[in-house]
Amino acid sequence: MRMATMRNGRAAMLDDFFVRALLAGIGVALTAGPLGCFVVWRKMAYLGDTMAHSALLGVALALLFNIQTTIGVFAIALVMSAILILLQRRATLATDALLGILAHSSLALGLVVVAFMTWVRVDLMGYLFGDILAVSRLDVGIIYGGGLLVIAALVWLWRPLLAATVDAELAAAEGLKPERARIVFMLLMALVIAIAMKIVGIVLITALLIIPAATARRLAATPEAMAGMAALLGAFAAAGGLFASLQFDTPSGPSIVVAALVLFLASLTPAASFAARSLRSMRPS
């Protein structure tokens, strides 16, 4: 009798919040994977960290003005992107120094604002490390709606972005407007961070962007194949991490990142290297 009750309880759980969490995790991973490829190619991991750290300030301001947190995070990420672009044009400091200043000051400012809002109870652990099991149907809709926008923009800007990543001056000479592509890329980063925050949290967003893309880079033969493989690997990591979290009662966001890490470590094995070489040799010339 007790076993039947437990099975029924688990089935109900899988039919409700766990399914929403699974859909949300896969949706974020499918979006973050292709975008993460450009982060890896452009060596912009620290930019992802900076925009992710600013998310807490966006959360604090959203709570202060009683607006949707995704909107607040997206707005602050856009502001940080604009500030970075303006400071880079003045060339007073190296980019890594600017990113460090923006990352840590925005995170600290967010914590200070949250501390002053004594009338609001804020789950800092949930924002820092994610609370995927608490996603609502509205959250899932926002994730897939935002994800479709990001993927559509990437498809539209694929050639300019790729050309600017390889050689910005050559892309400009060909009339591909690399500066515009860069601005749109940062806008897409802001959108992905806003929709991914609830899944893996502020601290782990960059890992979800980078690790599947880095894994795909070892296996794929073309940029397009790498983008598609990064999306699939991220989806596998999201599903595997969630089921591992359910099985071992571990935090969901960190479990997803650990699953992505396991896939990356697997790609370092001789068997994975042999499979990658075989796929490349089968590529038509």
Instruction: Give me 239's structure tokens.
Output: 């599903």
Task: Give the tens place of pLDDT for each residue, 262-280.
Answer: 999 999 888 877 776 776 6
Q: Mean pLDDT throughout 95-118?
A: 85
Between residues 140 and 87, which one has the greater pLDDT? 140
Q: What percent of the chain has pLDDT over 90?
A: 28
Q: Mean pLDDT throughout 105-133?
A: 84
Say what the pTM is. Answer: 0.85
What is the predicted pLDDT for the residue at 46? Answer: 80
Whole-angstrom distance, CA of residue 46 vs CA of residue 166: 19
Which CATH superfamily hosts domain 15-281? ABC transporter involved in vitamin B12 uptake, BtuC (1.10.3470.10)
What is the predicted pLDDT for the residue at 83? Answer: 84
Task: Give the tens place of pLDDT for each residue, 33-88.
Answer: 999 999 898 888 788 888 888 888 898 888 888 888 888 888 998 888 888 878 77
